[in-house]
Structure 1
Amino acid sequence: MANNKSAKKRILITKRNTLQNRFYKSSVRTLTKRFLRDLESYKISQNNDDKEKVQTALSSIYSLIDKGSKKNVYHKNTAARKKAKLATLLKTA
């Protein structure tokens, strides 16, 4: 257990940051799964409505990844790699 004031503060800050990191990472994973599910339905139907749905999902994932990168949840190269992988999946559809 922490014995001085600065150590106690660091514990609180670590808890806060852990919650923030968990929010961003789990949200990106959830949105990615939803994006992949929508992408599969778009591959089958080739419908413009499905394409718009996929592109909307992709933009929301990009937004969350960029915000996470700005708050040091993701390293900038990790964020770029995730975004590039998703873009490639959409491009090949």
Structure 2
Amino acid sequence: MANLKSSKKRVIIGIRNAAVNRVYKTTIKNLLKRYRKVTKLYLSTTSNETFQELKGLVNNLYSRIDKAAKKNVFHLNKSARQKSRILHNLKKLNIPSVFTK
């Protein structure tokens, strides 16, 4: 254990930051799992309702990834790679662009 007061404080801050970072990471992991599930559902049904859900999910996912990168939870390259893979997956599956209004 740390001896100095500032060292003890840094340990506490590190634990707190790790907890906050874990929230960001688990949220993004859960959104990615849901994204994969909804894309499979959309490919089987191709309904407008599922497409709207997919569109909202991708927008939410992009937003969360950007916020995590902004807070230095993820490296900027990792966030760019994740977003690129999401878009590449959509194009590969011939899903219409979810970014058009």
Q: Mark yes or no: TM-score above 0.5.
A: yes
Instruction: Quote the residue 1:14 is aligned against.
Output: 14
State whether structure 2 residue 80 is matched by structure 1 residue 74.
no
Instruction: Quote the residue 1:35 is aligned against.
Output: 35
Give 5+ residue unaligned stretches, structure 2: 94-101
Instruction: Quote the residue 1:51 is aligned against.
Output: 51
The one-letter amino acid paired with 1:67 is K
Give 5+ residue unaligned stretches, structure 1: none
Aligned alpha-carbon RMSD (Å): 0.8
| TM superposition outliers: structure 1 runs of 4+ over 2 Å | none
Find the residue that maps to 1:51 and give its secondary structure.
helix
Q: Give the superposition deviation at 1:92.
A: 2.0
Q: Which has the higher helix share?
A: 1
* Higher RCO structure, 1 or 2 (CA under 8 Å, sep 6+): 1
Instruction: Quote the residue 1:3 is aligned against.
Output: 3
Whole-angstrom CA distance in 2 between matches of 1:55 and 1:91: 13
Count of aligned pairs between the two proteins: 93
Structure 2 length-normalised TM: 0.88
The one-letter amino acid paired with 2:3 is N
Whole-angstrom CA distance in 1 between matches of 2:10 and 2:80: 30
